[in-house]
Amino acid sequence: MRKVFKIILAVFAVLLVIVVALGAVFFLDVSAYTSTGSSTLTPTGTSAGKALVIYDAGWSGSVKIVVDKVASDLQSKGYTVTVAGIKSSAAAKTAGYQIIVVGGPIYAGSPTSSVKDCLNNLNPAQGVKVGVFGSGQGATTPSDVQMIKDSVTSLKNGALSNAVVVKIGQTEDVAARALDFVNQLTI
């Protein structure tokens, strides 16, 4: 009787782990579908060009804080900035921009599948600067950035091999890290 009980308990534990894992994957990917809006920020003076910031909001809200700061910094550098949720119609229209930024949460060291899909389908024109950011727990380590770079460069689109890639941790100075990211894109 004890053996049967142990077997039933083991099967139940395995099924529970599988359900939790599938649920996590499903819910983490579903969060992209909340990113459907778009807005435009215009510079106060003459426009230096156009920038598109595409984002997957994730669950925590930290990505939107980074997006707002990146967009604001691009605007202050004179760009007309379109901020677009990854599932918005504006995110699909990438022609005519000098800078394209794609970002979202980092789960288990990797961008979400919606961010990877967006980057995989991105075909920037010659000379367009591409930036990729991830937002996640804790401070940034070199291995965090390398895992994001590996995710980006392993995509089928080789045009992203020169992308500026950063991770901005939730415990870091978001304003300073976002400004550094924008400075790298606007050189």
Q: What is the pLDDT of residues 108-160, one digit of tens each?
A: 777 888 888 888 888 888 889 999 998 877 666 677 777 777 776 666 566 66
Residue 41: strand pairing partners: 81
pLDDT band at 37 (very low <50, low <70, confident <90, very high): low
Stretch 60-69: mean pLDDT: 86
pLDDT of residue 34: 56
- The answer to whether residues 110 and 151 touch, using CB atoms and an 8 Å cutoff, is yes
**Number of Cα atoms under 13 Å in the Cβ half of residue 162:** 10
Stretch 26-48: mean pLDDT: 66
Residue type, 24: A
For residue 142, give both structure tokens: 């070199």
Class of the CATH-defined domain 33-185: alpha beta
For residue 74, give both structure tokens: 């691009």
Residue 117: exposed, middle, or buried by beta-carbon count in 10 A (0-12, 13-18, 19+)?
middle
